[in-house]
């Protein structure tokens, strides 16, 4: 491809992503749906202006790594302590149930392979903490009882999802289930997850010190992007998905991460805020490219919409996606209205679900109809959940005064 053609494609992706995100925001739906729609419009599904290529794929990879860095940066581990065992129960049930049901239905009813069924179940375990936080914050419920449970459960879901992502990543490369390799991957990922945040936290004062003494602007984002990409490379080297490196770096630099066995480096809230402000423009530049890439990779023209399979599959997976996340709150001691609110808030898959689905597609695990069905389910849960929970709070507002 000629250089000018590639540059025009990148310009189209950025402008279309922004335009569609603005439309989505005006319609009061998550902006990632707009960015996903931009990819569908520009890609082979509709206009056919752009097809995925290595350069756009690389930019999308950087976008997904930075997206997970932002998720990690906004992950406050102290929420786990505040929410306590109730959040753990909601998270674990909401993680295991969709995984088991998604795998069982895919493998037994639709007769898909073990590997494909595992990826489908894994995709359904996701909970989008970004969308969940936004919904609850808009309603002023993020600091209330049900809000703390949801946010704590979403944090646990993120952590469990990272490990599952690493396992599925290993399966996708070896194309088989090997217990020995699985044990090695879990060991390496655990070691990386324990040691990398400590290394990042130890580097934090150095970054802060030199940013205060440097006369050249932009030192913080340059060093942090380099650090995130380095962590991503190390994660890939130990057999984990590279995006894990971004997540770990974000967790280490978040507001409430602390070093074990001591308080040598106390959390610096002001510096964390400065990191967020410095990194936000870069993250906002690259992450839309990932969501557009998902849309570009989704060739709806290859899907046989007249086939009963795509509709039965999508509706079955959608039922599992909704009901499995609604089940956990019924095992904790809360009021009826709190249980329902918690369940609805755990349903959106958003960017986390798309990450799982894209991993399966890029590894050649998902056929076009399977991938399309999953993206449709993720899109529905992402769009519908904010609407449902807002309507629910509006209808039963008197039940949530305290």
Regions of the chain short of the pLDDT cut 70 = 1, 74-83, 129-130, 133-134, 137-138, 142-143, 158, 172-182, 184-185, 189, 193, 197, 239-241, 243, 254-269, 271-272, 397-402
pTM for this predicted structure:
0.71
* pLDDT at res. 122: 87
137 neighbors 330 (Cβ within 8 angstroms): no
Domain-located, residue 202: yes
* pLDDT at res. 265: 47
CATH code (residue 264):
1.20.1530.20
Output phi, psi for 367, to 5 deg: -75, 160
The 10 Å Cβ neighbour count of residue 223 is 16
121 neighbors 98 (Cβ within 8 angstroms): yes
Shortest CA distance to 334 belongs to which of 197, 149, 139? 149
Cα separation values, 204 from 45, 75, 198, Å: 45, 17, 10
Domain-located, residue 29: no
50 neighbors 43 (Cβ within 8 angstroms): yes
* pLDDT at res. 368: 83
* pLDDT at res. 176: 60
Domain-located, residue 28: no
308 neighbors 316 (Cβ within 8 angstroms): no
* pLDDT at res. 97: 93
Shortest CA distance to 118 belongs to which of 68, 193, 175, 158? 175
The 10 Å Cβ neighbour count of residue 345 is 31
- CB within 8 A of 387, min separation 6: which ones? 28, 29
Shortest CA distance to 377 belongs to which of 161, 169, 131, 123? 123
Distance CA 365, CA 172 (A): 7
196 half-sphere exposure, CB direction, 13 A CA radius: 25
221 neighbors 278 (Cβ within 8 angstroms): yes
Distance CA 154, CA 356 (A): 16
* pLDDT at res. 259: 45
The parent domain of residue 109 ranges over 59-400
**Number of domains present in the structure of the chain:** 1
* pLDDT at res. 373: 87
* pLDDT at res. 308: 84
Domain-located, residue 263: yes
71 neighbors 247 (Cβ within 8 angstroms): yes
The 10 Å Cβ neighbour count of residue 162 is 23
Domain-located, residue 9: no
* pLDDT at res. 175: 61
Domain-located, residue 196: yes
Domain-located, residue 85: yes
Residue with tokens 């996606």: 321
Domain-located, residue 268: yes
pLDDT in tens, 183-192: 766 777 677 7
- CB within 8 A of 246, min separation 6: which ones? 64, 65, 66, 67, 68, 69, 72, 228, 231, 232
């Amino acid at each position: 491809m000629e250089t000018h053609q590639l540059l025009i494609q990148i310009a189209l992706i950025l402008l279309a992503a922004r335009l569609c995100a603005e439309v989505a925001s005006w319609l009061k739906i998550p902006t990632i749906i707009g960015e996903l729609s931009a990819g569908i419009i520009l890609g082979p599904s509709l206009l056919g202006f752009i097809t995925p290529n290595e350069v756009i794929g690389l930019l999308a990879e950087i976008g997904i790594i930075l997206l997970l860095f932002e998720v990690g940066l906004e992950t406050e581990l102290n929420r786990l302590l505040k929410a306590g065992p109730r959040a753990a129960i909601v998270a674990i049930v909401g993680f295991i149930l969709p995984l088991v049901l998604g795998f069982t239905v895919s493998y037994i009813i639709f007769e898909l392979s073990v590997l494909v069924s595992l990826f489908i179940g894994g995709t359904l375990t996701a909970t989008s903490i970004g969308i969940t936080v936004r919904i609850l914050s808009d309603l002023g419920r993020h600091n209330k009882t049900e809000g703390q449970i949801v946010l704590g459960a979403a944090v646990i879901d993120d952590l469990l999802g990272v490990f599952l992502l690493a396992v599925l990543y290993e399966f996708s490369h070896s194309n088989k289930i090997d217990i020995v390799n699985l044990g090695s991957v879990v060991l390496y990922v655990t070691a990386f997850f324990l040691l990398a945040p400590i290394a990042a936290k130890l580097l934090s004062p150095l970054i802060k010190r030199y940013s205060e003494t440097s006369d050249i602007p932009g030192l913080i984002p340059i060093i942090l992007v380099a650090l995130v990409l380095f962590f991503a490379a190390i994660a890939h080297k130990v057999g984990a998905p590279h995006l894990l490196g971004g997540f770990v770096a974000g967790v280490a630099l978040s507001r409430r991460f602390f070093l074990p066995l001591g308080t040598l480096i106390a959390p610096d809230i002001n510096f964390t805020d400065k990191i967020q402000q410095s990194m936000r423009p870069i993250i906002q530049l690259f992450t839309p490219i990932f969501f557009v890439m998902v849309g570009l990779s989704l060739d709806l023209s290859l899907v046989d919409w007249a086939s009963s399979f795509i509709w039965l599959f999508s509706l079955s997976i959608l039922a599992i996606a909704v009901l499995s996340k609604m089940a956990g709150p019924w095992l904790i001691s809360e009021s009826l209205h709190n249980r329902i609110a918690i369940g609805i808030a755990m349903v959106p898959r958003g960017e986390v679900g798309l990450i799982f689905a894209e991993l399966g597609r890029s590894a050649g695990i998902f056929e076009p109809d399977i991938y399309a069905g999953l993206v449709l389910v993720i899109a529905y849960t992402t769009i519908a959940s904010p609407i449902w929970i807002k309507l629910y709070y509006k209808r039963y507002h008197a039940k949530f005064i305290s």
